[in-house]
Amino acid sequence: MASNTTQLTMSALIEETLDELYRTSERPRQAVLAEALDISETGVDVAAFTADKLGATDIMEVDRELMLVTAVVSTTATVSRAYGGSTAATHANGAVGSVNPDYPRIQVDRAVRRCFNQLNASLPKIVSEVYPAASAYGQSAMVPLDKATMKVLDVRVSFDTTTLEKVTKLNGQWRFEDWLPNEISNTGKALVIPSGYRDKELIVTTQEAYSWTPTTGGEAATIDIPVGGDDLAPLYAAATLATGREMSRREFDQIEEFNQWESGRRNADVRLLQFYWGRFYQRLDEVKSTQNAPRHRPYVRMSSGRR
């Protein structure tokens, strides 16, 4: 598979987003665990030098879990676990927690993921891959495609399976099928080609959906993004969280038309909107300009002799 992408972890994207939102001196107060925690313990020992930073009704974030502090006696905090929709987890002795964070990690996580949902429509993820001949799948002229495929951009046939030197474009001689039953394609998607090419290897260029590769490590989940677009998700997430709203390109282009009454009614700081969303859309345009996507050719009905 060939793709002009780089791989990032959720953890790295969250940290970059927090760097966008906070200056170093503005980071939340910290509390350090003085013991390891299981998923149910509610009496939490903290290091003595951080105990005085905690009080009743404070929120303590450790890793991705939020805990509501209900009491503090000496260096032991009584907490309510899995607060605010977070999930109780084990934590190591010495883990550093944030006190009353403005932007909890689970909230940043959601904002980062929303960015990639938006990118599926505005920034194509283009992948070129060599597929075995249709006959290898037991099909007459149908090649199953990856589940993440959104559209097929280009199809070429290789007449030399060892060097791939002899390649011919199948202009208008293929069609992309989705919503297929599992009996035909276990991914629900397939490429239909003329039966005369069923024994030939294919080079298929597709636009795929941005999707996370899950891991057991939570924030260790990875995603592939276009080279040069490493900061798109942090910029988007920071803009969403700092301004309290998502802003489409159309809204951003019209932001100069906001009058003072409208700004006040929406409780929106126009300069803040311009700063954060301006940075995101400028960066998006720069990354899009580097993407050289093949022109998508719509299906042209094949002659009866080539089916």
Q: How far apart are CA 210 and CA 84, in angstroms?
A: 28
- The DSSP secondary-structure symbol of 35 reads S
- The DSSP secondary-structure symbol of 91 reads B
Q: Two tokens at 222?
A: 């990875």
Same domain, 82 and 134: no
**Residue 176 in domain:** yes
pTM score: 0.82
| CA diameter of the chain | 86
Same domain, 131 and 206: yes
Which domain CATH number covers 82? Answer: 2.40.33
Contacts of 101 (CB under 8 A, 6+ apart): 28, 59, 61
**pLDDT score of 294:** 64
Amino acid at 213: T
**pLDDT score of 116:** 94
The series of mean pLDDT values per 10 residues for the chain, 307 residues long, is 77 96 86 95 93 92 96 96 94 96 95 94 87 82 90 86 72 89 88 89 91 84 90 97 91 70 58 91 91 60 47
Identify the bridge partners of residue 98 per DSSP, sorted by sequence position. 30, 61
**pLDDT score of 295:** 62
The answer to whether the beta carbons of residues 13 and 19 sit under 8 Å apart is no
Amino acid at 175: R
CA distances from 48 to 27, 38, 59, 100, 101 (A): 20, 21, 18, 19, 21
Q: How far apart are CA 243 and CA 262, in angstroms?
A: 15
**Residue 42 in domain:** yes
Identify the bridge partners of residue 202 per DSSP, sorted by sequence position. 131, 157
**pLDDT score of 307:** 41
Single out the residue in 83, 101, 119 at which a domain terminates: 101
Residue 147 belongs to what domain range? 127-210+296-301
